[in-house]
């Protein structure tokens, strides 16, 4: 009876700066985009959420406004039900999802309404005077969440011609990591420097290397160099399915002393799905494998576990929703499997959401992914959660436990509005490095 009413829903697209990070799909552009949802209720509380960028997602969010406004905050589940009834996802429109990492299909895998869910949970937590993690699953399980140092190869930003949008230059930053993250990092020794810098700044004890960039043998050389420098660290590699099954087996079979688990080492080939090929990889190597490509919804998850194709499901709440991500942690724990979170470039609103989700996950989660170290300093919050000793500190306030800075948000919105395109395009930046470059899901981006 006394629940505040949602009086306003704002959708604000924003942009931030990135490094020339290399992945199978190409090179990150100088700027990445996100969409923010800001809800205001009749008690004066503000709830916030963040989701992937692009016009498609922004338009979807704006279309949902009338299903959200004028509803009591405590009926947030009814709001989500209405959204799912009205905006029913066509199971056929996303084809194979992201088994082949086609960036254009991410908009079908990422569900825009999860930004609304986050903002609703933020409001509900403020109304009930409890942290958001207490509203998820069985409630808070921990006060800090282990995260890993997400390492990338990075190319030379100076190869982008004058007149084009330039990458951020931080060569005069007093912070050693901020300087290094904008430089070229393409050798095993340089990746070790990268790991040393983020270990010093954030205290990381575990690392993940984004592969699918150089020849597989070179990437394994990088893994061995990392393990030599950090002998007690868990080292993982994610080539996004770039390797053939034969190549993945050859590369990984003798790497058990260096690699803890392999994420999406291979994908669909020869008429077999990524799930079937991953099962064969596990048989041949006896490695634990993780995925954010072959199980991105409940139907795909059913087939993945039926084949025993994966041990670690990286359940990004932007794919699964916050309630869904925690349900996944409960299910995996009961089956003796492992839960984690996958990440894309994001602002600190997502960092706070990851902290709350990780705090509520049951069992022993794998260290969570986060790109935040590459965006650190572009804060949209007054009180960005901190990573200390390799662990993300869970905000202690109600709801998300953080407060938005609207001046910074509007500056990020102005950057967004200055862009010629709002959709992700990793091929364009690659074409500065390799003229005529095109994406091939079985060719590492620099192997041409």
DSSP string for 394-444: PP-SSBT---B-HHHHHHHHHHHHT-S--S--HHHHHHHHSTT----TTS-
pLDDT of residue 95: 45
Asked whether the predicted pLDDT for residue 277 surpasses 90, the reply is yes
139 & 114 share domain? no
CATH value at residue 274: 3.20.20.120
Q: Residue 382 has what DSSP assignment?
A: S
Exposure on the CB side of residue 119, measured as CA atoms within 13 A:
31
Q: What is the pLDDT of residue 429?
A: 94
Q: Is the pLDDT of residue 283 over 80?
A: yes
Q: Is 28 one of the catalytic residues?
A: no
Q: Residue 1: pLDDT above 70?
A: no
Within a domain: 164: yes
Is 159 found in the same domain as 120?
Answer: no
Active-site residue, selected from the candidate residues 342, 346, 371, 422? 342
pLDDT digits (tens, 9 = 90+) for 346-361: 999 999 999 999 999 9
Domain harbouring 69, CATH code: 3.30.390.10
Asked if residue 434 is part of any domain, the answer here is no
Pair (116, 150) in one structural domain: no
pLDDT at site 123:
98
In a domain, 158, yes or no: yes
Residues 38 and 121 in one domain: yes
Any domain includes 337: yes
Q: Which domain holds residue 243?
A: 135-399
Q: Which of 439, 440, 417, 412 is nearest to 426 (CA)?
A: 439
- Poorest-confidence range of 45-49, 54-58, 262-266? 54-58
Answer yes or no: do 171 and 267 share one domain. yes
pLDDT in tens, 297-336: 899 999 999 999 999 999 999 989 999 999 999 999 999 9
The residue written with tokens 């609207």 in the block is 406
pLDDT tens by residue, 183-224: 999 999 999 999 999 999 999 999 999 999 999 999 999 999
Q: Are 219 and 238 in contact (CB under 8 A)?
A: no
Is residue 35 a contact partner of residue 224, using CB atoms and an 8 Å limit? no
The answer to which of 102-106, 135-139, 223-227 has the lowest mean pLDDT is 102-106
* CA distance readout (Å), 138 to 86, 91, 132, 141, 361: 29, 31, 12, 8, 8
Over residues 408-425, the mean pLDDT reads 95
Q: Quick one: tokens of 207? A: 């690392």
Mean pLDDT of 62-76: 96
Q: Tally the domains of the chain.
A: 2
Residue 149 lies in a domain: yes
Please tell me the distance from the alpha carbon of residue 214 to that of residue 369, in angstroms, as a whole number: 22
The CA distance from 369 to 238, in Å, is 11
Inside any domain, residue 422: no
Q: Looking at the structure, do residues 147 and 123 belong to the same domain, yes or no? A: no
Same domain, 115 and 235: no
Average pLDDT over residues 20-39: 97
The reply to whether 103 and 158 lie within a common domain is no
pLDDT band at 110 (very low <50, low <70, confident <90, very high): confident
Residue 10: how many CB atoms within 10 A of its CB? 16
Least-confidence region, from 10-14, 88-92, 148-152, 231-235: 88-92
| Statement to judge: residues 389 and 287 lie in one domain | yes
If asked whether residues 20 and 148 sit together in one domain, one would say no
Q: Which of 399, 425, 442 is the last residue of a domain?
A: 399
pTM equals 0.95
- Average pLDDT (68-94) is 84
Residue 435 lies in a domain: no
Phi and psi at residue 298, in whole multiples of 5°? -65, -35
Q: What percent of the chain has pLDDT over 90?
A: 91
The pLDDT value recorded for residue 185 is 98
- The model's confidence at residue 98, banded by pLDDT at 50, 70 and 90, is low
Q: Which of 210, 227, 282, 391 is catalytic?
A: 210
Domain match, 112 and 194 both: no
* Residue 155 counted as domain residue: yes
Q: How many CA atoms lie less than 13 Å away from 107 in the CB half-sphere?
A: 18
Q: Please tell me whether residues 81 and 172 are part of one structural domain.
A: no
Using CA atoms, how far residue 334 sits from 112, 154, 290, 330, 363, in Å, is: 29, 39, 17, 6, 9
As a whole number, the mean pLDDT across the chain is 94
Is 282 in the active site? no
């Amino acid at each position: 009876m006394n629940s505040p009413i949602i009086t306003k829903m704002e959708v604000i697209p924003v942009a931030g700066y990135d490094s020339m990070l290399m992945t199978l799909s190409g090179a990150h552009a100088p700027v990445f985009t996100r969409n923010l949802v800001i809800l205001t209720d009749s008690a004066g509380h503000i709830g916030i959420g963040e989701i992937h960028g692009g016009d498609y997602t922004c338009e979807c969010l704006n279309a949902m406004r009338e299903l959200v406004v004028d509803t009591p905050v405590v009926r947030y589940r009814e709001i989500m039900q209405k959204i799912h009834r009205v905006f029913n996802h066509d199971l056929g429109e996303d084809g194979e999802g992201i088994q082949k990492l086609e960036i254009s299909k991410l908009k079908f895998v990422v569900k825009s309404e999860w930004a609304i869910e986050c903002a609703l949970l933020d409001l509900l937590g403020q109304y009930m005077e409890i942290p958001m993690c207490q509203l998820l699953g069985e409630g808070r399980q921990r006060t800090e969440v282990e995260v890993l140092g997400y390492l990338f190869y990075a190319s030379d930003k100076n190869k982008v011609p004058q007149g084009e949008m330039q990458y951020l230059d931080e060569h005069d930053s007093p912070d050693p990591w901020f300087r290094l993250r904008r430089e070229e990092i393409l050798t095993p020794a340089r990746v070790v420097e990268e790991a040393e810098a983020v270990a010093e700044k954030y205290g990381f004890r575990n690392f993940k290397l984004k592969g699918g960039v150089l020849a597989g043998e070179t990437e394994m050389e990088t893994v061995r160099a990392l393990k030599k420098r950090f002998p007690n660290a868990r080292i993982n590699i994610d080539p996004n399915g770039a390797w053939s099954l034969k190549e993945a087996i050859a590369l990984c079979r003798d790497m058990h002393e260096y690699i803890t688990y392999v994420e999406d080492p291979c994908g669909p080939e020869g008429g077999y799905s990524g799930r079937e090929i991953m099962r064969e990889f596990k048989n041949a190597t006896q490695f634990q494998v993780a995925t954010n490509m072959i199980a991105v919804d409940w139907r795909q998850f059913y087939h993945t576990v039926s084949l025993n194709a994966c041990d670690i499901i990286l359940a990004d709440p932007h794919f699964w929703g916050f309630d869904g991500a925690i349900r996944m942690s409960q299910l995996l724990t009961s089956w003796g499997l492992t839960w984690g979170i996958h990440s894309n470039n994001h602002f600190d609103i997502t960092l706070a959401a990851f902290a709350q989700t990780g705090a509520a996950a049951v069992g022993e989660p794998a260290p969570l992914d986060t790109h935040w170290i590459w965006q650190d300093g572009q804060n949209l919050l007054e009180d960005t959660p901190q990573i200390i000793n390799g662990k993300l500190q869970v905000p202690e306030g109600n709801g998300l436990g953080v407060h938005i800075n609207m001046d910074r948000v509007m500056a990020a919105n102005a950057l967004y509005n200055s862009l010629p395109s709002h959709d992700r395009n990793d091929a364009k930046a690659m074409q500065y490095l390799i003229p005529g470059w095109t994406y091939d899901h079985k060719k590492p981006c620099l192997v041409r």
